[in-house]
Structure 1
Amino acid sequence: MRQLLYKIPLVPLLMISLFLGLAPFQPEPHLWEKLKMLAAGNLTEMIDIFDMLMHGLPLVVLILKLTLGRAPEQAE
């Protein structure tokens, strides 16, 4: 999995994460709305679960890349 994270370019991943994480911008982002629904126990419809995954997955991949996706240090 780390090899795959090494290959993903950071800037496009950051742009996709911000765009999908914040879209639509008005009245509130879908990801925030779905997280509030999850906390309230109202996230029961399949379309809502899919929507949360679609908007949140790029952010999860970005976090994984920033934490695990560093290239291995070369031994001297």
Structure 2
Amino acid sequence: MAFLDTLPWNLVILACLTLGLAPFFPEPHIWEKLKMLAAGELAKPIDIFDLVMHGAPFVVLFAKGLRTVMAG
């Protein structure tokens, strides 16, 4: 978990805003994949890969935030 401590906040936030939300129009890709997941339409391997790829920066952001709060 020391890896999370070495990541600067601005890099994590930038990754969320770029990779996490790209492409921006007509809607963010992560939002499209989450809607597909909720509808039960997320079945193709490429769609699952897209969800993981675009969701990873948000998972890192959440983990870093949780680690920061728990550290005091």
The normalised TM-score by structure 1 is 0.85
Query: 2-side partners of 1:72 and 1:27: how far apart?
Result: 39
The normalised TM-score by structure 2 is 0.90
Instruction: Please report the RMSD computed on the Cα atoms of aligned residues, expressed in angstroms.
Output: 1.6
Q: Which 10-residue stretch deviates more, 15-24 or 26-35? A: 15-24
1:30 aligns with 2:29: yes
Aligned identity (percent) is: 53
By relative contact order (CA 8 Å, sep 6+), the higher-ranking structure is 1
* Unaligned stretches of 5+ residues in structure 1: none
Query: 1-side partners of 2:32 and 2:46: how far apart?
Result: 13
* Unaligned stretches of 5+ residues in structure 2: none
Give the aligned length: 72
Cα deviation digits, residues 15-74 of structure 1 (max 9, x gap): 01111221111111110000000000000000000001110101110111011146956x
